Chains A and B, each alone.
Chain A
């Protein structure tokens, strides 16, 4: 059963951070790269690159500290921290342990990492939400971020113009008066090598294979068109929610052509669909919170119904419906 609900949870706050280094796709000099056609098709004009100076953990910590500072939240009150990333600081241990120490969180705070990509925000919400709902944990931090550009061959003209780096923090609270969250999560392991780093893990030593990110763009495109609209429609049916009543629809920011085709097939209005592709590109697992932050002016202090949908590596994909009240949404900040 991939469709389920979680109870007594409130999405309280979201903050996102990007590296300072900004690259325009118009400045790329690859042979046969048509920048204007690329920008028109994908919607991606500029991207943020960590260039090894900062990690996903650093970007997420700044985002989390922003929320805790602005909302005067005592760090001892954070009961759980979940870090979603594919670019941890080290292979062992997970980044969440380093983050707990760096932020000065309590030893009673449950900390662990999840290795997930572009569906990672939705998967992360379901995991931290399940913990908090069942154990009645008061406050939780979901940190979602990647510095995926560090895994890309700088000569790969198909991936360089797409990917970008970012980190985010989402504060979730236990609230017995909250409306339920609804999820539809799916996986298809037969496509495990469609977005892939072949070597560097236990299966293959780094020097024995391709240690850079590979993506089969055509097959991922077909996957997106086939699976995501169906996933969204099934979720709406399960939750007995009409797409007409969704206030904002935020997809993983893959590329404009794919996202717009998915949107039309899912029969969701363009007017409620939010994007951050133009300024931040595809920031892997962080695209959904970055898009929320990009539209902080619309979302801050709002009480709205959000439909979120992430899809990518795995292959894995998932959507969720989150009713939010008195939501604190902070604009995208640069790393300092």
Chain B
């Protein structure tokens, strides 16, 4: 059975790992590596949130080759529907 998600749902899960004051400034077009507080630890925290929610994670290559939140959303969506 495949599962699909909306950009809003992805954004909510993605943003959980950032401080409250930063969350409302994140959009699908935000270059996520430039978000205040972004680090390799943030990537691990997002991985845990994604794993809890959809039971999938993002590889190092997938994060490295992505620029915006939308890029990560598309990778996630592809994993969920394939």
Contact = CB atoms under 8 A, between A and B. Distances in A.
**Chain B interface size, under 10 / 10 to 19 / 20 to 34 / 35 or more:** 10 to 19
A195 interface: no
B48 interface: yes
A179 to B, nearest CB: 35
Given A32-B39, A37-B41, A218 B51 contact: no
A253 to B, nearest CB: 16
A257 B39 contact: no
B51 A34 contact: no
A218 B40 contact: yes
Nearest to B41: A41
Interface stretch (B3-11, B26-34, B58-66): B58-66
A37 B19 CA distance: 12
Given A37-B41, A41-B41, A257 B48 contact: yes
A41 B45 contact: yes
Is chain B's binding surface mostly helix, strand, loop or mixed? Answer: helix
Given A32-B39, A218-B63, A257 B57 contact: no
Is chain A's binding surface mostly helix, strand, loop or mixed? Answer: helix
Interface string A144-186: 0000000000000010000000000000000000000000000
Contacts of B45: 41, 257
Contacts of A225: 47-48, 51, 57
Contact of B39 (A34, A42, A226): A34
Contacts of B58: 218, 222
Given A225-B57, A226-B57, A218 B41 contact: no
B76 to A, nearest CB: 13
Nearest to A217: B40
Contact of A158 (B40, B48, B57, B59): B40
B77 interface: no
A258 B51 CA distance: 11
Interface of A: 32, 34, 37-38, 41-42, 158, 216-219, 221-222, 225-226, 257-258, 261, 265
